Amino acid sequence: MRKGMETNEFLGFIIAIIGIVLLGLFGFKLYGFFVDQDMKNAKAFVDDLTGKIDLLKDGENNTFALRGRPGWILVGWNKEKPIALEGEVISKDRKPQKCFENSCICLCEGSISKCQEVGYCKNVDGDVNLLGQITYTGGNSEGVYTSRLNSSCIIHENGLMDIFVSKKNDFVFISYDYGQRESEWVSENKVNGAKLRDGPYNKLENECFISREILGRS
């Protein structure tokens, strides 16, 4: 009787091990599926955007509704920007090796520094410049202030994003306006030193910051 119990326990142990292995393999494949799907979505966005850029004639501009990839960052580099060497951090001043010596547009997951490993890039003709803009309103006892943050990259949002594109003299300009948001820190004295606390948009300041300015007060 004891021997039969030991046999059943051993078989149960083997079955449990097999189940854990199969579950691990399933989880690994499921993770790979989502990673591959994210990259396919990034590729589809960049291909769609560059395709629309190619259709624009010199001197033309248009606004295109493209589906955003939340958490991904759209960024561009010009020909004169040096390529990041091994061990160097990719930033606004260093472009991914996959861009080679060309101007390029990249959609990268989470951070510009990940553009080489987790990002899709495509070359474009001519120089390229990106601009993301957010307008903030806020105030204190002294009054209500409006400020605008300008950045050199575009953090993707959920849903459709109205991306403005213009092309002139081999220069491509891409911009996105996030609209107006409220923030308690906006004031004439604090605006230059304030840190964003608005979810993923702090990346606009940490990685892509250009300028912040007071637009008006009342």
- Which of residues 58 and 1 earns the better pLDDT score? 58
Mode of pairing for the β-strands spanning 119-124 and 160-168: unpaired
CB 130 within 8 A of CB 150: no
pTM of the model: 0.75
> Which pair of tokens denotes residue 70?
């939340």
Q: Mean of the per-residue pLDDT values for the chain? A: 80
Mode of pairing for the β-strands spanning 119-124 and 127-140: unpaired
The pLDDT assigned to 30 comes to 41
CB 171 within 8 A of CB 160: no
Task: Check whether 164 has a pLDDT greater than 90.
Answer: yes
The pLDDT assigned to 108 comes to 93
Task: Encode pLDDT of 129-153 as tens digits.
Answer: 999 998 888 766 667 778 888 889 9
Task: Encode pLDDT of 180-201 as tens digits.
Answer: 877 655 554 444 444 454 555 6
The pLDDT assigned to 210 comes to 82
Task: Check whether 160 has a pLDDT greater than 70.
Answer: yes
